Amino acid sequence: MEKISSPHEDEYNPLAVCFVGAALGIGIGDLLNGLNGYEITSRPPLFWIVPFLFFTGCLFYFYRRFQERTIWGALLLVLLIASFFGFRFQLYSVCFPQSEIGFRTSRQSSPVFLDGWICDLPSAKLPSIPPLGRNIEPEIQTRFIVKAKAVSNGRQWDPCSGFVSVIVSGEADHLFRIGDLVRLKGYINRPSPVSNPCDFDMNFQLRTQRINTLININRPENVQILKRGERWMFLRFFGDLRRQSQKALEKNLSPRNAAIASAMILGLREDIDEDLQAQFQETGTAHILAISGMHLTIISGFFYFLLRIFCLSIRFRSACIALIILFYFMLTDGRPPVLRSSILVWTACLAVFMRRPVLQLNNLLFAALCILMYNPMELFQFGTQLSFLATAAFVWFAQKTVKEKTPKEPEIIDGTKEALSEERSKKRKASFTKGILTRLGLKFCLCMKDLFLSSIVVWFVLLPIIVRKLNLLTPIALVLNPIIFIPMSFAFISGLILVVLAWISPGLAAYFSFIPDFLFDLFLGILNGAHACPGGYFWCPGFSDLFCWGFYLPLIAATLFSHLRKYKKAYLIFLLCWGTVCIGVHQIDQWIRLRKGESEIILFSVGHGSAALIHFPDGRVIVHDCGNFSAPRRVGTLLAKNLWKMGKTHIDLVIFSHPDSDHYNAFDLLAKYFSIGGAVVPPIMFDKKNQNVELLKKMIDEKEIPVFYKTKDESLAELGFPEIRILHPHRGNFQKYMPVQSNANSLVVLLEHEERNLLFPGDLDTRNALFLDEFPVKLDLLIAPHHGGKSENYQKILEWGRPRWILISGGLRQRNPASEQKLCDAGYIVYNTLEDGAIRIFITKEKMNVVPWRK
C-alpha cells in the first residue's frame, strides 16, 4: 500500500529540533552554573555524559524499531542535543585548565608581572564628562586583551594560560600591535560580582570571552615590548589594515563623520561621543552602529550587481561574494555580531554555488547552531537575541511576500502548453510598452512598500525585548528606519569605497572624500531631525519577564515549525489573555504589598558617593542623593532601572543633602528619564559658587521643578511625606558656616516610619550639629556620615541615637577596616556597600529587615 505523505512533510526541518535542544541544554547549564555562582573549576562536567549516552541509546533503539518520525523521536533528539550542548556550555563557561591565571587571582587587587601576547587591536577612549561634573578628571584609557604566557609575583616566574583584559591609563593604542609579546606591570584582580539590583554584570560579560582576570596599569611605560609580533601574523596583518583604514577615514572625513564611518564600516565605536550614541538609541537606529546582517546585505547586494555588469555566471558571483565577506569578516576582527551575519551570507552563497534552493530559515538555524557551538554563552547576549529575532522576522516577512507575489499558472485544459506560452508573451509585450522610468518607479514604490511593512514587522517583534532591556519605546523608528535606509546605504558604500581607495592611492581617496562626507552629513541630518521630533521616543517601565516569555515562545515555535503558523488568531487571542494575566499579576503584587504595608529602602553601592531610594507601600518614591565621585552616569542608570522595575515614571521628591557633586551629579539622567515633583535642599545649596552647582540650578529651572529649602524642625508633611523630619541645619546658624563648609550644613533627614527611625545625615560635621544636644531619638539605622571613615567622626551621633545598624556608603579609599571592627566590637551591625553591595531595608508594622545584596 502506498504511503500517504503529510501535507507538511516537505517542510520538515530537523535543524529546528536541534536548535530547541541546544537552547534547552544551555538553559539547564546556566541554571546549574548560577547555583554555583559561576565559580571556575578545572574539573570537566562529566556527569553530562550519562544522559548523552542514555538518550543516544534510546534514540537508536527507537529508530531501529519504528523507523519513522514521530513526536517521541523528536523528543529524544531534543534531549540528546540538550545533553550535548549542556556539556559544551559548562565546559566553555566554568571549566579551565589548571594553568588558568584566574585560579591565581582573587577579588582584591595585588601587584603582578605578566608576560603575554596581545591578541586584539588596542583601543583608546576618553571617558565622557557628565553635564554635572565629576571630581576626578577623566583620562584616556587604552584597552586590549592579552593571552597569558607567564606570571610573576616579584620572586619567580610560573607558566600560565588564559586571557586577561588589560586597562592602561593613558593613550597607548598606537604603541602596540597584535602579536606583540609584552611584559605588564600592574595590579591584577578578578572582576567583582554584581553589587546592585539591575546592575551590569561585568563578570558574566567577560566570561563570554573566557576572561577571568583584569589588570590595571597606571601608565603606558609599565607595558614593555619584549618581542615584536611573529605570532598570529595573519591577524596582525588585518589588525594593521584596520588601523590604517581608521586613519584614512579620520584624514579624509570630518571628525563626526569619521567616527560614525569607523563604527559602521570597521566596528570601531570608541570615538563616538555619548550624546550621538544616545541619538541613535533614542531613534531606534542603534543597530546601524553595530555591524550586522544589514551591513553585510548591503555589501553583498552592491558587489552582486557590480559583478553582474560583467555578465559573470551566478555561481562565480556567489563565490566572489563569499570571499569578499570573508575578507570583510577578518577586517572587522571577526567579532560575534559579524560572525553571525557572515555565516548567513556564506550558507546562502554555498547554496547558490551548489545550485540548491536558498532556505532562509534553514540558513538562520544553521548560523545559530554554529554560533552556539562556538560560544554557547551568546544565547544570553542582548545583541545576539536582537539579531536573530530581527532576521527571523525578515525571513517570515520575505516568505510571505514571495508567496503572495508568485503568479499562479493559468489553467491548461487541453493539456498543451500553448495557453501558458501565449499568456507569458502577452505579459512580456505589456511590460515593454511601459516606459523604463515608469517601470523603475513602480519597482521603487514596491520596494519602499516592502521596506515599510518589514520595518513594522521587525519593530513589533523586537518591541517587548527592547522595552524590557532598554526601557525605551521608539515609535519614530517605524518611519525613520525605512527612510534612513537609502542614505545610510549610500553613505556606507561610499565610505567603504573611500577605504579601498586609501589602500590603493591616498591622493585619489582625498579627491573622492567629498562624496562620503556629504552622504554622512545627509544621513546624520535626517537622524538629528527625527530625534528632535516631539513624541518620537519615550522612557518607560519594561515588560515583565513573564510577558516576554509568553510573547516569544509561541512566536519562536511558529517560526521553527511551519504547521503551527496557521493558528494566527489563536496566537493573538493568547497574547491578549497573557497580557491581561501579567497585568493582573502585577496589580495583585502591588495590592499584597500595600496590604502588607512593606516599605523598601535601597542604599546603592556606588563607591565614593551616595544614592538611596525610598519606596513607600502606597507608591510614593523619594530619591535621597544621587551622585558618585568618578562615574555618575552609572548611578543615574542604577536609580532609573530600579525605578522602572517598580513601574515608576515619576519621582515624588529628590533630596539633596549638600552641594558636593558626589551627592547630586547623576541628577541629569533622572531629570531626563522621569518627571520630578520637587527638590528638597539645604538653604546653602545654590550659594556655593561652583559651575556644577550653577548647572544643577539651571537644569532644575528648565524642568520647572519646585525647590523647597528646609531647616531644623521642619516637616515635609505639606509635600505629602509626614514621615520625614529635618534635624539640621539650624535656621539661626547655617549662615555662619556657609562660605566654605558645605558639609557642616548638610541636610540631616530623619525618617520616622512604622515606629522605626532611620537617619540620613549626608556629610554632616557633627561639631556644629545642635540637635545632638537635645533629647535623643532612639535610632534603628544610621547611614554613616561622610562615607564612613573613622567612627570617631560621628561618635556623638552614636551616643545620641544608639542605632542597631550602621550602613557605610563609600569607596576603597575611604574604607577604614579598623574603624569598622571597632564598631562591630561595640555591638553595632555594620554593613559596607563596598563589600556587601547594595543594602536593602524592608520595614513593616511587625519588623524591620536589613539585607545586603551579596548575602
Strands 756-760 and 781-783: parallel
Mean pLDDT on 275-297: 89
Measured CA to CA in angstroms, residue 380 lies from 30, 89, 372, 386, 787 at distances of 10, 12, 10, 11, 36
Residues 6+ positions from 156 with CB-CB distance below 8 Å: none
Which pLDDT score, from 0 to 100, does residue 620 have?
Answer: 93
Burial 627-656 (b: 16+ CB within 10 A, else e): bbbbbbbbbbbbbbbbbbeeebeebbbbbb
**Owner of C-alpha cell 589588570:** 215
Most confident of 230-234, 240-244, 269-273: 240-244
- Binned at pLDDT 50, 70 and 90, residue 9 comes out as very low
Burial annotation 169-207 (CB, 10 A radius, 16+ → b, else e): bbbbbeebbbbbbbbbbbebbbbebbbbbbbeeebbebb
Nearest by Cα to 205 from 214, 218, 197, 196: 214
Q: What's the CA gap between 555 and 486, in Å, rounded?
A: 30
Q: What's the CA gap between 49 and 90, in Å, rounded? A: 12
- pLDDT score of 291: 85
Percent of the chain clearing pLDDT 70 (strictly above):
90
Question: Which three cell numbers, joined as nine digits, stand for 168?
Answer: 592602561
CA dihedral 160, 165, 167, 171 (to 10 degrees): 100
pLDDT at 733: 57
Set of cell numbers at residue 365: 538555524
Nearest to 346 by CA among 279, 378, 393, 299: 299
What is residue 692's predicted lDDT score, i.e. its pLDDT? Answer: 86
Tens digit of each residue's pLDDT (9 = 90 or more) over 157-215: 999 999 999 999 888 888 888 889 999 999 999 988 899 999 988 888 899 999 999 99
Q: How far is CA 495 from CA 267, 517, 527, in A?
A: 13, 8, 18
Long-range contacts of 505-508 (CB under 8 A, 24+ apart): 506/248
| Predicted local distance difference test score (pLDDT) of residue 239 | 87
pTM value surpassing 0.75: yes
Residue type at position 551: F
State the first-to-last Cα distance of the chain, in angstroms, to the nearest integer.
68
d(CA 171, CA 142): 6
Is the Cβ–Cβ distance between 654 and 676 less than 8 Å? yes
pLDDT digits (tens, 9 = 90+) for 456-475: 888 999 999 999 999 999 99
Three-state DSSP state, 759: strand
Q: Which residue has the higher pLDDT, 14 or 574?
A: 574
pLDDT of residue 259: 92
When pLDDT is cut at 50, 70 and 90, the band that residue 515 belongs to is: very high
CB 388 within 8 A of CB 375: no
CB burial readout 784-796, b (16+ within 10 A) else e = bbbbbbebebbee
Q: What integer is the mean pLDDT of 501-528?
A: 91
Strand order in the sheet with 781-783: 715-716, 721-728, 748-753, 756-760, 781-783, 805-808, 829-832
Task: Report residue 459 as a C-alpha cell.
Answer: 519593530
For residue 3, what pLDDT band results from cuts at 50, 70 and 90?
A: very low
357, amino acid identity: P
Q: What is the pLDDT of residue 436?
A: 65
Residue 846 backbone phi and psi in degrees, to 5: -90, -35
Cis before residue 197, ω within 30 degrees of 0? no
pLDDT for residue 413 is more than 60: no
111 or 817, which is more confident? 111
User: Is the distance from CB of 578 to CB of 600 less than 8 angstroms?
Assistant: no
Q: What is the pLDDT of residue 424?
A: 53
| DSSP states of 430-468 | HHHHS-HHHHHHHHHHHHHHHHHHHHHHHHHHHHHHHHH
Q: Render pLDDT for 415-440 as a digit per residue (tens, 0 to 9).
A: 444 554 555 555 555 554 456 667 66
| Residue 95 CB contacts under 8 Å (≥ 6 apart), including other chains | 40, 41, 42, 43, 44, 45
Q: Residue 45 in 3-state DSSP?
A: coil
Kindly give, in sequence order, each residue whose CB lies less than 8 Å from that of residue 169, ignoring residues fewer than 6 positions away: 139, 140, 141, 216, 217, 218, 219
Residue labelled with grid coordinates 559579524: 338
Angle, alpha carbons 91-93-96 (nearest 5°): 65
Residue 622 has pLDDT above 90, yes or no: yes
What is the sign of the dihedral through the CA atoms of 752, 757, 758 and 761? positive
Q: What is the mean pLDDT of the chain?
A: 85
pLDDT for 400 beyond 70: no
Kindly state the average pLDDT of the residues 555-582: 82
The most confident of 33-37, 434-438, 759-763, by mean pLDDT: 759-763
Q: 138: buried, middle or exposed (CB in 10 Å: 19+, 13-18, 0-12)?
A: middle
Amino acid in the structure at residue 572:
L
Asked if residue 193 lies in contact with residue 80, where contact means CB atoms within 8 angstroms, the answer is no
CA–CA gap between residue 721 and residue 618 (Å, rounded): 12
Contact 132, 632 (CB under 8 A): yes
> Three-state DSSP class for 601?
strand
Instruction: Check if the beta carbon of residue 741 is closer than 8 Å to that of residue 749.
Output: no
Q: Is the pLDDT of residue 10 over 50?
A: no
Number of other residues whose CB lies within 10 A of the CB of residue 23:
19
* Alpha carbon of residue 296 to chain centroid: 23
pLDDT at residue 399, rounded to an integer: 65
Q: Which residues pair with 600 in a beta bridge?
A: 615, 842
Mean pLDDT of 790-799: 76
The whole-number pLDDT of residue 85 equals: 95
The pLDDT value recorded for residue 401 is 60
Mean pLDDT of 578-587: 85
* Backbone torsions φ then ψ of 799, nearest 5 degrees: -70, -30
Count, in order, helices (H) and strands (E) of the chain: 25, 27
Query: CA–CA distance from 295 to each of 257, 299, 485, 500, 751 (Å)?
Result: 17, 6, 11, 16, 55
C-alpha cell at 296: 553585510
724's grid cell: 520625614
Separation of alpha carbons 348 and 360, rounded Å: 8
pLDDT at 1: 34
pLDDT confidence bin for 741, thresholds 50/70/90: low
Q: What is the mean pLDDT of residues 757-784?
A: 87
57: confidence class by pLDDT, cuts 50, 70, 90: confident
Structure confidence at residue 489 as a pLDDT band (50, 70, 90) = very high
